[in-house]
Structure 1
Amino acid sequence: MKATKTMIVIANSGTARFLINAGPGKGLTPTGGKTLQADPPTMYADRAGEVHSRVGPGMSAVEQTDPKMLAQADFAKEVSDFLETSFEKGNFERLIVAAGPHMLGVIRDALSEKVSKVVIAEVDKDLTHLPLEDLPEHLDHVLAV
């Protein structure tokens, strides 16, 4: 019987590591050293913009965008695109996403529908700072490593 491959994404707002578990007792293996790094947030302006009214002397403020939030959404999209490509190539059948609570939500929103369907667990912890050998004890409640 063929073992089910599970992809594990360990991410925060700046880094994403991808690991594979090929079945119970097989441990975690990095996916060819693939690590994504987020681009730094781009600051566009130091204050909200203003626009002139089409009629009369009035002015209106334009809502200011949050560069950090935009950078996180862009990075989550990059992670999602990598996962979708890997899934289509048959590199995994199940997915576990581990990230801090906020970034977990951003990644969840960015995942395509077909990749979202194979998510078997979410871990709301930032584990990016841990070495590979310490990860199994933090994932043992969602995966038989």
Structure 2
Amino acid sequence: MNEVTWIVTADGRQAHVHEERRRGGPLQRLGERGLQAEDSEQPNNRQRATVHNRFGFGRHGAGDEDVAELAEARFLERVSEALELWAKAGLFDRLVVMAPPRALGLLRGALKSPAVECLELTENHDRVTLEGEALRRHLRTLRGQ
């Protein structure tokens, strides 16, 4: 019996989902499953928030949190929630996740059962631009085939 594998390539702004119906077989991009960061999740710049004092010229930081990092974490939480729903629906049997190190760490930390139980492989590199045959060849290399 062939198991369906979903390959998710993600970064802090977008996530693409590809399906492999036969191990080592062709990949099909599932465009309707892809996710994009919403406008509210994309800050205009990477500056930290600052507060201006009402009187005088002083200003100070409003905190040590980077707005872009918070937006990335919110988006990746949304990706993990979607993967959990799709795993519960039985849309895939195995899961492969490829993302830059920080994004992969956030995703793995947010993933819960049953999606985490389907996790076959992870790779901590940005592969979001890989498509079709290039992604298939890379997946075969990761698996050692």
Q: TM-score, normalised by structure 1?
A: 0.79
Q: CA deviation at 1:15?
A: 0.9
Q: Which residue matches 2:37?
A: 38
Q: Which residue of the partner structure matches residue 127 of structure 2?
A: 127
Residue 57 of structure 2 corresponds to which residue in structure 1?
A: none
**After the TM superposition, which residues 7-26 of structure 1 pair with which residues of structure 2 at under 5 Å, given as runs?**
7-26=6-25
Question: In the alignment, does 2:78 pair up with 1:75?
Answer: no
Larger radius of gyration: 1
Determine the C-alpha separation between the residues in 2 that align with 1:14 and 1:62.
25
Aligned mates of 2:64, 2:52 — CA distance in 1:
7
Q: What secondary structure, in the 3-state scheme, does the structure 2 residue paired with 1:140 have? A: helix
Map Cα deviations across residues 69-92 of structure 1 (whole Å, 9 max, x no partner).
111111111111111111111110
Q: CA deviation at 1:105?
A: 0.5
1:47 aligns with 2:50: yes
- What corresponds to 1:101 in structure 2? 101
Secondary structure (helix, strand or coil) at the match of 1:8 reads strand
Checking the alignment, whether the CA contact within 8 Å between 1:6 and 1:93 is kept in structure 2 is yes
Per-residue deviation at 1:101? 1.1
Cα–Cα, structure 1 residues 116 and 140, in superposed 2: closer, same or farther, change >3 Å? same
Unaligned residue ranges in structure 1 (runs of 5+): 51-60
| Structural RMSD (CA) | 2.7
Distance change >3 Å, CA 139–CA 48, structure 1 → 2: farther
**C-alpha separation between the residues in 1 aligned to 2:144 and 2:23?**
5
Moved more, 23-32 or 92-101: 23-32
Cα separation, 1, equivalents of 2:52 and 2:82: 35
Question: How many residue pairs align between the two structures?
Answer: 135
Aligned-pair CA distance for 1:131: 2.7
More helix per residue? 2
Cα deviation for residue 26 of structure 1 reads 2.6
**Deviates most, 97-106 or 107-116:** 107-116
Give the letter for the 1:6 counterpart: T
2-side partners of 1:128 and 1:20: how far apart? Answer: 15
Q: How high is the TM-score relative to the length of structure 2?
A: 0.79
How big is the shift at 1:3? 0.8
- The residue identity in structure 1 corresponding to 2:126 is D
